[in-house]
């Protein structure tokens, strides 16, 4: 009996691929909206739950940490069960977690909601990328990834502004409801997506690799975020546990069934774009958090005004993402990234002296330059995913999602460490700061110290000292970002030519 060829067998792509593209992109829009809308609400969330130290950082990091740790199991599910079925599971989990965050009245309930939401996101992100790999032919994938990146950037564009607007007219609770809308629309449109059944896979899941990598990510990020608050013995224990999980994973990483195949991730054309993507995602969280705290605490702007000031970065990255597929086809991902990294390094250097009076032309140049860099990140995903066959599309997408979420969580952890050291050091140099300050100290702890002396004569002087110290700290942070961009340029230069199927 002759086998009937399907659209996947011919390699010509799904006939209605451009019509179902929005269904694939809407859940991604929901996730990015969820990640970016919360930035503006972080100070209000910290004020609402003052008994939960560093809650703002944990709201960001818990989502990225869990999503990163579960990306690989999600990839195995998609390859073995089928993409559309797993997609529906992810959407339901995401909606449930967002609902818990909306109704949270305790800090730990809010974190629980973020964790459940992250479980759904761990499924949604790799499924979306795997669907693009399977329904679009190779010659159209760069364009499709550009449009998918547009959904990423639209979430980035409207997230901060919508977050500021919702907090202005209602409360921070509503920022967790907004992402439910595109996710629900995606859920309703899911039957229009092709079934995309599971591929035949002869080997068993790599349970050891999945487990050890998940725990290694958790130990690493937990150490980065909480090491200043832990005893030396506990820090040493966490480091030992991290190293142990890495050693166990390495022993099983050469098997054909390895969840992260070493024969692929050791290729220059895979690990260079992946490292760059991790770096840019971490940079994004660091920059967005710095800008939010600078405008709200350093310049005493409202959440709505803060979101308006951040809007240029989001708009630029959105416009660039729409054109990124065409830019990649014209210049190649290597030279495209080298040019945008150079521009961003110059932009960050112009931000090294931030005035409290507001941004000038050079400062806005830095913001726009970073928006251009961030808008082109989808092509790094395309460069990494092309190494995986269509039968392993979900696995490749899961590893790529792991890289993205690890970068986001790393950015939140780096910000927490940086500000807890840089801000107290700058405060100690301020002659009008009237209170003792310890290293490390969070912004919220120092703000509480100022608020406790609200009716004293030293309050206004201390508040001014805090605002100046924030500006100096963030200026130094942006100067460091410029240096790291220069290092990233050198790494990009070593990237080998784009590989095609």
Per residue in 279-295, pLDDT tens?
Answer: 998 998 899 888 888 88
- What is the residue extent of each domain of the chain? 15-196+259-424+474-493
Q: Is the model's pLDDT at 228 over the cut of 80?
A: no
Per residue in 339-395, pLDDT tens?
Answer: 999 999 999 999 888 877 777 777 888 888 998 898 888 788 878 877 777 666 677
Tell me, which fold does domain 15-196+259-424+474-493 have in CATH? Growth Hormone; Chain: A; (1.20.1250)
CB 462 within 8 A of CB 433: yes
Higher local confidence (pLDDT), 351 or 35: 351
Please write down the HEC assignment for all residues of 53-121: CCHHHHHHHHHHHHHHHHHHHHHHHHHHHCHHHHHHHHHHHHHHHHHHHHCCCCHHHHHHHHHHHHHHH
Percent helix, percent strand, percent coil in the chain, to nearest 5: 80, 0, 20
Q: Is the model's pLDDT at 98 over the cut of 80?
A: yes
Q: Is the dihedral of CA 494, 497, 498, 501 positive or negative?
A: negative
Helix (H, G, I), strand (E, B) or coil at 180: helix
Those residues whose C-beta lies under 8 Å from the C-beta of residue 64, and which sit 6 or more positions away, are: 118, 285, 405, 406, 408, 409, 412
DSSP state, residue 332: -
Rounded distance between C-alpha atoms, residue 146 and residue 283, angstroms: 21
Residue 294 CA neighbour count, 13 Å, CB half:
25
Structure tokens at 377: 């990140």
Residue 178 CA neighbour count, 13 Å, CB half:
26
Q: Is the model's pLDDT at 501 over the cut of 50?
A: no
Angle between helices 17-48 and 180-188 (to 10 degrees): 150
Of the candidates 369, 275, 337, the residue with the CA atom closest to the CA atom of residue 489:
337
Higher local confidence (pLDDT), 450 or 135: 135
Q: Is the model's pLDDT at 459 over the cut of 90?
A: no
**Overall average pLDDT of the 53-79 stretch:** 77
Is the pTM above the cut of 0.85? no
**Overall average pLDDT of the 10-33 stretch:** 82
pLDDT value at position 497? 66
């Amino acid at each position: 009996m002759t086998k009937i060829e399907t659209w996947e067998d011919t390699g010509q792509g799904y006939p209605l691929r451009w019509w179902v593209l929005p269904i694939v992109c809407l859940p991604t829009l929901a996730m990015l909206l969820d990640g970016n809308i919360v930035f503006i609400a972080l100070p209000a969330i910290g004020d609402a739950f003052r008994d939960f130290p560093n809650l703002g950082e944990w709201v960001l990091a818990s989502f990225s940490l869990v999503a990163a740790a579960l990306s690989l199991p999600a990839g195995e599910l998609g390859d073995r069960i089928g993409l559309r079925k797993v997609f529906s599971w992810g959407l339901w989990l995401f909606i449930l977690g967002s609902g818990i965050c909306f109704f949270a009245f305790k800090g730990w309930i809010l974190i629980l909601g973020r964790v459940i939401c992250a479980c759904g996101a761990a499924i949604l992100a790799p499924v979306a990328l795997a669907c693009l790999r399977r329904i679009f032919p190779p010659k159209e994938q760069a364009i499709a990834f550009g449009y998918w990146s547009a959904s990423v950037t639209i979430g980035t564009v409207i997230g901060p502004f919508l977050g500021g607007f919702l907090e202005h007219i209602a409360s921070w609770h509503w920022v967790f409801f907004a992402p439910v809308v595109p996710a629900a629309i995606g859920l309703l449109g899911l039957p229009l997506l092709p079934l995309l059944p599971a591929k035949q896979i002869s080997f068993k899941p790599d349970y050891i690799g999945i487990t050890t990598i998940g725990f290694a990510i958790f130990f690493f990020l937990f150490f980065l975020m909480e090491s200043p608050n832990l005893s030396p013995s506990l820090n040493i224990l966490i480091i030992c546990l991290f190293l142990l999980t890495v050693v166990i994973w390495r022993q099983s990483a050469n098997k054909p069934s390895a969840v992260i195949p070493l024969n692929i991730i050791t290729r220059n054309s895979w690990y260079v774009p992946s490292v760059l993507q991790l770096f840019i995602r971490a940079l994004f969280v660091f920059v967005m958090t710095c800008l939010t705290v600078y405008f709200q605490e350093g310049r005493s702007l409202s959440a709505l005004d803060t979101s308006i000031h951040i809007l240029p970065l989001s708009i630029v990255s959105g416009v660039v993402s729409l054109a990124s597929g065409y830019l990649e086809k014209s210049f190649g991902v290597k030279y495209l990234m080298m040019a945008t990294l150079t521009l961003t390094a110059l932009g960050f250097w112009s931000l090294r002296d931030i005035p409290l009076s507001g941004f000038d032309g050079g400062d806005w140049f830095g913001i726009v330059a970073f928006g251009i860099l961030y808008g082109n990140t989808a092509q790094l995903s395309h460069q990494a995913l092309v190494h995986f066959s269509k039968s392993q599309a979900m696995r490749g997408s899961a590893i790529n999602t792991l890289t993205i979420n690890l970068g986001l969580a790393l950015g939140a952890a780096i910000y927490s460490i940086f500000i807890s050291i840089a801000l107290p050091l700058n405060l100690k140099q301020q002659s009008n700061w009237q209170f003792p300050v310890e290293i490390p100290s969070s912004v919220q702890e120092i703000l509480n110290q100022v608020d406790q002396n609200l009716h004293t004569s030293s309050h206004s002087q201390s508040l001014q000292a805090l605002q100046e110290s924030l500006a100096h700290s963030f200026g130094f942070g942006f100067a460091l970002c410029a240096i790291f961009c220069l290092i990233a340029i050198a790494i990009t230069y070593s990237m080998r030519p784009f590989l095609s199927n």
